[in-house]
Amino acid sequence: MSQSTVSGSERPNYLNSGYGVKSWLLTTDHKRIALLYLLGVTVFFAIGGVFAGLIRLELLTPQGDVFQAETYNKLFTTHGVMMVFFFLIPAIPGVLGNFLVPLMIGAKDLAFPRLNLLSWYLYIVGGLIALWAVVHGGVDTGWTFYTPYSTVYSNGWVVVTAIGIFLAGFSSILTGLNFVVTIHTMRAPGMTWLRMPLFCWGMYATSIIQILGTPVIAITLLLVAAERIFHLGIFDPAQGGDPILFQHLFWFYSHPAVYIMILPAMAVISELVTAFARKPIFGYKFIAGSSIAIAVLSFLVWGHHMFVSGQSVYAGLVFSVLSSVVAIPSAIKVFNWTATLYKGSVSYETPLLYALGFIGLFTFGGLTGLFLAAMGLDIHVHDTYFIVAHFHYIMVGGTIMGYLGGLHYWWPKISGKMYPEYWSRVSAWVIFIGFNLTFFPQFILGYLGMPRRYYAYPPEFQVWNVMSTAGASILGIGYVIPLVYFFWSMRYGKDAADNPWGATGLEWETPSPPPTENFPETPVVTGKPYDYLTASKETAVG
């Protein structure tokens, strides 16, 4: 199965191939670029997280007392912009996708290594520009930039923030393009489409959305900037523009964007469940096909964000039925993951704990999506904390569980070191419990009628807000623990074996950490993925 060579730090690998700053900042090695992304997304996540903490602090009491109303509005805007555009969207493709796609298909690198580096620079420059806007006074439109507030009434740094997001969007497009070309053209001999790990299927589906959807948000942001600077009447009704047009354009990208966040997480979960159940995945073709189905359907549901905006009732009907149907491919995945555990040889190491946490949060978050697809019910919960809770369960809970689960699973490969198992299990539990404590009360608040983006609220909502803030403090601690032990492990962790989990997949057949060229010689693939039963028979015979 794997060459059980002892992993020594003297052996040439991608980490010790160069130590200078230039060897990192000018690298075209997909593995090093993945680590550059790791640095970027960690910093932006920390910033977004601090802003979330400040929001929860203000909401501890009904009256506005910690910040000014305007400051509060800038806090939740910055929280949303940082988390959505600079953490959730790039996190898994940027870090795990970059590191793993070439390794999993047996390639030496991505198809366009220099484009890959450019993509990271665009992301970082975009992020820095958005941060510049925060430092110089911030922006208060909400991450949704609804017009005409954003184009006519807001006094914040709307255009600067939009430029930051615009650049990050190009980064996202280039990453998607790189993955699609790589998967099409650089698979190792024998690596047919149906032998490809499901992680690659997920990244492929994600890339399609990134390439097709992101240009639309780029155009939309340009139009917002054009209206703010040149006062063109595009969205401003006082000049004959249409504010609802903005919502159509914005959600045409931003609903599929939710799947840019969650499809990669699903892709990770498929890998983790099989590896720790030591069993072929149940329903490979259904899981792979459902990723593509989600990518296609995700473009046809944007109007469910506009059931109370006054869009045509008949348009609403179509969006409602398609939104109900988009739940099905997700349900198929959840059932198949669960069935994979059946009669498995299940081992509860940290990555699996995160994967099960994902299944819990995603199932619950997905089911609450049905409430919002049902038009008559959506009227009541639209723009309340019910929505806030729903999308945090799905795109935050889901994505972070997938991201952290994947990071733990592949950390031995990425760093060549093991993290402390005890503390990593603690972190998985603390994050799961903290997350539910933070966001479950928000469902109740939402149904009670508390609107989102409220700086002050009626006193009868306080108890649930206190619970949510308490949960957020636990969640915050949960996020700090892995940060500490991942850093710790880089210096003090035990050396990782090439295949510490006994997993299948080409990435485990190369040393930990891998050499710069990934594989000493091009691997040849002869069988299906997740062939745990045959593999173990061979081991038994050998």
The interface with other proteins within residues 72-91 (CB under 8 A) comprises 73
Taking CB under 8 A as the criterion, which residues in 319-338 touch other proteins? 320-321, 324-325, 327-328, 331-332, 334-336, 338
Asked if 296 touches other proteins (CB under 8 A), the answer is no
Residue selected from 3, 23, 347, 522 as contacting other proteins according to rule CB under 8 A: 347
Q: Which stretch binds other proteins (CB under 8 A): 10-18, 36-44, 363-371, 432-440?
A: 363-371
Taking CB under 8 A as the criterion, which residues in 409-438 touch other proteins? none
User: From CA 286, how far away is CA 194, in angstroms rounded?
Assistant: 11
Q: Which stretch binds other proteins (CB under 8 A): 1-9, 21-29, 352-360, 411-419?
A: 352-360
User: From CA 38, how far away is CA 453, in angstroms rounded?
Assistant: 30
Burial zone of 36 (CB within 10 Å; 0-12 exposed, 13-18 middle, 19+ buried): buried
Asked if 279 touches other proteins (CB under 8 A), the answer is yes
What's the min distance (Å) between Cβ of 334 and other proteins? Answer: 6
User: From CA 258, how far away is CA 245, in angstroms rounded?
Assistant: 20
User: From CA 357, how far away is CA 337, in angstroms rounded?
Assistant: 13
User: From CA 328, how far away is CA 433, in angstroms rounded?
Assistant: 27
Taking CB under 8 A as the criterion, which residues in 216-255 touch other proteins? 237-238, 240-244
Tokens of 69: 């109303």
Taking CB under 8 A as the criterion, which residues in 140-179 touch other proteins? 140, 142, 144, 146, 148-149, 152-154
Residue selected from 186, 377, 433, 477 as contacting other proteins according to rule CB under 8 A: 377
Closest CA to 147 of 87, 51, 231, 86: 231
What's the min distance (Å) between Cβ of 154 and other proteins? Answer: 7
Asked if 541 touches other proteins (CB under 8 A), the answer is no
Partners of 496 in the beta sheet?
none
Asked if 447 touches other proteins (CB under 8 A), the answer is yes
Asked if 339 touches other proteins (CB under 8 A), the answer is yes
Residue with tokens 């061979």: 538
How far is the CA of 455 from the CAs of 163, 325, 391, in angstroms? Answer: 27, 36, 20
Residue selected from 123, 250, 364, 508 as contacting other proteins according to rule CB under 8 A: 364
Residue 14 or residue 284: which is nearer to other proteins going by CB?
284
User: From CA 50, how far away is CA 35, in angstroms rounded?
Assistant: 23
User: From CA 12, how far away is CA 33, in angstroms rounded?
Assistant: 18
What's the min distance (Å) between Cβ of 137 and other proteins? Answer: 14
Closest CA to 393 of 366, 365, 370, 368: 365
User: From CA 293, how far away is CA 330, in angstroms rounded?
Assistant: 9
Task: Kindly give the interhelix angle for 350-373 and 399-415, rounded to the nearest 10 degrees.
Answer: 150
Residue 377 or residue 525: which is nearer to other proteins going by CB?
377
Asked if 312 touches other proteins (CB under 8 A), the answer is no
Taking CB under 8 A as the criterion, which residues in 384-403 touch other proteins? 384
Task: Kindly give the interhelix angle for 399-415 and 421-448, rounded to the nearest 10 degrees.
Answer: 160
Q: Which stretch binds other proteins (CB under 8 A): 110-118, 398-406, 430-438, 442-450?
A: 442-450
Asked if 469 touches other proteins (CB under 8 A), the answer is no
Number of residues that bind other proteins (CB under 8 A): 97
Region of 192 (left: φ > 0; alpha: ψ -120 to 50; beta: rest) is beta
Contact 394, 84 (CB under 8 A): no
Residue selected from 12, 458, 520, 527 as contacting other proteins according to rule CB under 8 A: 458
What's the min distance (Å) between Cβ of 317 and other proteins? Answer: 6
Residue selected from 5, 345, 522, 526 as contacting other proteins according to rule CB under 8 A: 345
Q: Which helix (H) or strand (E) segment is 258 a member of?
A: helix 243-277
Taking CB under 8 A as the criterion, which residues in 23-82 touch other proteins? 64, 69-70, 73
Residue 128 or residue 328: which is nearer to other proteins going by CB?
328
What's the min distance (Å) between Cβ of 288 and other proteins? Answer: 13
Burial zone of 448 (CB within 10 Å; 0-12 exposed, 13-18 middle, 19+ buried): middle
Asked if 214 touches other proteins (CB under 8 A), the answer is no
How far is the CA of 424 from the CAs of 354, 430, 518, in angstroms? Answer: 10, 10, 28
Asked if 474 touches other proteins (CB under 8 A), the answer is no
Asked if 126 touches other proteins (CB under 8 A), the answer is no
Residue selected from 454, 517, 525, 528 as contacting other proteins according to rule CB under 8 A: 454
Taking CB under 8 A as the criterion, which residues in 97-116 touch other proteins? none
What's the min distance (Å) between Cβ of 531 and other proteins? Answer: 12
- In this structure, how many other beta carbons lie within 10 angstroms of the beta carbon of residue 275? 24
Closest CA to 248 of 327, 304, 164: 304
Name the 3-class secondary structure at 247: helix
DSSP sequence for 82-103: HHIIIIIHHHIIIIIIHHHHHH
User: From CA 440, how far away is CA 3, in angstroms rounded?
Assistant: 47
Residue 70 or residue 495: which is nearer to other proteins going by CB?
70
Residue 38 or residue 54: which is nearer to other proteins going by CB?
54
Taking CB under 8 A as the criterion, which residues in 513-532 touch other proteins? 532
Residue 106 or residue 529: which is nearer to other proteins going by CB?
529
What's the min distance (Å) between Cβ of 69 and other proteins? Answer: 5
